[in-house]
Amino acid sequence: MTSEARNASRSGQDFILLGFPCSREVQFLLFSIFFVTYTLTLLGNTVIVCAVHGDRRLHTPMYVLLANFSFLEICYVNSDVPNMLANLLSQTKTISFARCLLQLYFFFSLGTTECLFLSIMAYDRFLAICRPLHYPTVMTIKFCVRLVIFCWVYGFLWFLIPVILVTQLPFCGPNVIDDFLCDLGPLLALASACVPIPGTVLICGTMSSLLIFATFLYIIGSYSLVVWAVVQVPSRAGRKKAFSTCCSHLAVVFLFYGSVMMTYVSPGSGQAEGMQKFTTLFYSVLTPFFNPMIYSLRNKEMKAALKKILGGS
């Protein structure tokens, strides 16, 4: 396809997001469920951010990272859920090419940032449990802030190349995406139906796999060393507290990475119908919903801060 033809096909072009094709009654039911989940996700993560900000006892690296992670989850759900809710009530279910690319970029950049944050939080726990004497001098607030800045900046730089490659792809129509957001796999599948794009699929798949496996293996390696160190702790209470923290962190890691690996290790490879939609829904909507409960609300210090914020109730 020539550049003129590609530009002509892209001019005024819209994509159709099928979302959840079902009866209007079921779509209204799904809207209600997702709206409640979305609202509770925003409330839970906002409360954590406010609790850490408002309680000076929580101004430590671990809680600074948790607060930033909760803020990230707020941004993450806002990158896809509002459009999904609007799509459920819409008759046309269309999204412009520019909005589709913008959603793709923010959704994946925030997902990349989440992978980096989970790695940094694993590093923090490794230092605190395996190197307790070095922890106060290494993990200072200043160093923690630098790590947070690194996560945000690098997260938004990593996915620039795949998005630029997607802007150069031909979409000859019909531009129907069987998903509730502009996801990488369906977009590559649409383009590959027009012309072969093995190079783009390879680059996108390699970058996704590199990020996912590198951060996942680092996290698993860090927590393996943490568990080994915890097993050798003589105090039963100390072991219980450390295991509780590690189990909470690992629960979030497996929830997030389990569904992400199923979706993005080989984008555009053609998963079973409906499977990619389910896995995307799981890590983009449900994981941010569970994170406040898993990560922070079981923590004694966080519970005390929440009681203070809620007026001692």
Quick: pLDDT tens for 165-217.
998 888 887 888 888 889 888 888 888 888 888 899 899 889 988 999 999 99
d(CA 118, CA 66): 10
- DSSP for 61-111 reads HHHHHHHHHHHHHHHHHHTTHHHHHHHHH-SS-EEEHHHHHHHHHHHHHHH
Asked whether residue 6 is assigned to any structural domain, the reply reads: no
d(CA 76, CA 94): 21
At residue 11, the pLDDT reads: 43
Asked whether residue 5 is assigned to any structural domain, the reply reads: no
d(CA 24, CA 286): 23
Question: For position 141, which CATH number holds?
Answer: 1.20.1070.10
d(CA 181, CA 18): 9
Asked whether residue 40 is assigned to any structural domain, the reply reads: yes
What are the tokens at 156? Answer: 């938004």
- Report yes or no: 140 and 57 within 8 Å, Cβ to Cβ: no
**Which element (helix H / strand E) includes 177?**
strand 176-177
What does the angle CA 134 – CA 112 – CA 218 come to, to the nearest 5 degrees? 40
Which residue in 10, 42, 309 sits closest to 172, CA to CA? Answer: 10
d(CA 73, CA 110): 8
**Which element (helix H / strand E) includes 254?**
helix 236-264
Burial of 22 (0-12, 13-18, 19+ CB in 10 A): exposed
Task: Kindly provide the b/e burial profile for residues 59-94, where b requires at least 16 CB atoms within 10 angstroms of the residue's own CB.
Answer: ebbbbbbbbbbbbbbbbbbbbbbebbbebbeeeebe
Asked whether residue 181 is assigned to any structural domain, the reply reads: yes
d(CA 126, CA 128): 6
Asked whether residue 8 is assigned to any structural domain, the reply reads: no
**pLDDT band at residue 241, thresholds of 50, 70 and 90?**
low
Residue with more model confidence, 260 or 111:
111
Asked whether residue 55 is assigned to any structural domain, the reply reads: yes
Which residue in 124, 108, 107, 120 sits closest to 151, CA to CA? Answer: 120
Number of domains in the chain: 1
At residue 271, the pLDDT reads: 52
- Residues near 137 by Cβ (< 8 Å), separated by ≥ 6? none
At residue 265, the pLDDT reads: 60
Which residue in 214, 172, 174, 178 sits closest to 194, CA to CA? Answer: 172
- Report yes or no: 75 and 141 within 8 Å, Cβ to Cβ: no
Mean predicted confidence (pLDDT) in 6-33: 77
Asked whether residue 10 is assigned to any structural domain, the reply reads: no
Residues in the chain, total: 313
Asked whether residue 284 is assigned to any structural domain, the reply reads: yes
- Residues near 12 by Cβ (< 8 Å), separated by ≥ 6? none
Supply the range of the domain harboring residue 77. 15-306
Backbone dihedral angles phi then psi of residue 176, each to the nearest 5 degrees: -105, 120
d(CA 217, CA 205): 18
pLDDT in tens, 121-155: 999 989 988 888 999 999 999 999 999 999 999 99
At residue 245, the pLDDT reads: 67
pLDDT in tens, 266-283: 554 455 556 777 888 888
pLDDT of 72 higher than 80: yes
